[in-house]
Every structure is written in structure tokens, then in C-alpha cells.
Structure 1
Amino acid sequence: MNRNRKRGVPVLILVLLAGGLLFGGGKPAEAGYWNDFWSGVNELSQLPSEVSELKADYQNTMDKLDATQETLENFRRQNEELMERNRELAATVSALTEAQQTRDANTRKIRVLLFTGLALLAGYFIVLRLVRLALRR
């Protein structure tokens, strides 16, 4: 047993030296709990300002959207009014075109009637002269 004891002391010394070299050689590793905690606290303290900025941006975007929708509605209303005016103008142009065609047709009929009347009158006088000449001979 004495022998095991003599052997145990050097083994114990070697184990202690090896453990010291393996585990005690450098600065102990830190998990960064405090740094993580403080950075988390800083992030959480900055969140309300970011949320306020996001709310302001959202409100600004909604205002722009409302303005755009209102403008779009105005354009749609104007477009409908212009389409109605266009229909009215098309009806007016159509009525004026028909009236002009009717006037042109009436004018043509009157001209034909006048020329026919003048031709009949001239023919009447010519036939009368021819009949008189024929009767005198």
C-alpha cells in the first residue's frame, strides 16, 4: 500500500498541473450576460421612439393616401362630367348636321323648282311665238 501511496502523490501532482494548464491558463470566459442585458435595455428604451417614428410615417402615408384618393375621386367626377358634356355635344352636332342636310335638300328642291318654272315659262313664250309664226304664214 505504501507503494500505491508513493505512486499516488506524483500522479496527483501531474493531474493538478495538467488541470492548472488546461483550465487556469487564461482569463475566464465571459458569457456576456451583463453586456447583453444592457444592450437589451438600450434597445427597449429606443423602441418607443422608433414606434413613434413608425406611427408618424404611417399617419403621413395614410394622409397622402387619403389625398390621393380624394384627387382620384375628383378626376373621376370630372371625367364623368366631361363624358356627359361630350354626349350632349355629340347630340347637338348630330342635330345640327341633320338640320343642315335638311336645309341643303330644301334648297336643292327650291332651285330645281325655280329652274323648272323658268324653263316652263320660257318654253311657253317660245311655243307661243312659234305658234304665232306658224299661224301667220
Structure 2
Amino acid sequence: MRNIVAIIMFLLLVNGCSNPKEKELDIKSKNITIQIVDHQNNEQRYSLKITTNGKAFKDKAVLPIEKKLITNKQKQAQVNLNVGVLYTITVHKTNARSIQELYNKTKAVQLVVEEAPSTTLELTPDIELNKMIIEVD
């Protein structure tokens, strides 16, 4: 019986001595809607290139990544991003309706106009961010 009490006391002691900040270091991700606002062309679709160099936390890390998305008819795209990590978002006009169509080598030259990005910006999502609006010309 003493052994059981000693084990329970040890577990309570270890749990009580743990650093509460370590629990806050969990890497959280958030599903974010990116909305493109184009006052000139209602039919236009956009290619989004989302990159990050990653970020090192105390004992965890977010690796560098690159994601490409195509907006839907409403000029929106859903993306899952890590909270507290800096991302660069580059927006290009495109005629492609899907990533598969964009990467189809026979059509890619005709579908993407990437002379100059419409917009490039940086974003560090927080836990409260649900939607990001990007205005393009």
C-alpha cells in the first residue's frame, strides 16, 4: 500500500513541477480562408504561392514549405497554416481552374501569366485569424 501511495505522490510531484510554458509550445495550425478582391475582373482566377522558411520553437520546428493553390469561382482558397509562423503569399492571375490543370505541361505556358506578381505580402497567422482579404489591381 505504501508503494502505491509513493508512486501516486511521485506522479503528482512530477506533474506539478512541469513547466506550464512547455504546454504552450504546441504548434497549432489554423484553417484560413484567403479571399481575393479584384474590382476589375469578376471572372478571374488566381494562383496563390504560399511559402515559409519555417520556425524553430524550443524543442519543435515547422519545416520550410511551399504550397500552391488556385482560387475558386468566389476567388477564395482554404489553406491550413501554422500559428506564429511567418508566411509569404504571392498572388498571380491565372486561367487554370485547378492545380492539376496548372501543372499540365502542355497548357501551363498558356494558363499562367507570371511576368510580375499581382501582390506579394507577408502574414503571421494568429489563433483568431479566420479570413484574410487580399486586394489586387
Does TM-score exceed 0.5, indicating one fold?
Answer: no
Q: Which has the higher helix share?
A: 1
Q: Which has the higher strand share?
A: 2
Give the TM-score normalised by the residue count of structure 2: 0.24
The one of the two structures with greater contact order (alpha-carbon pairs below 8 A, sep at least 6) is: 2
Higher alpha-carbon Rg: 1
Give the TM-score normalised by the residue count of structure 1: 0.24
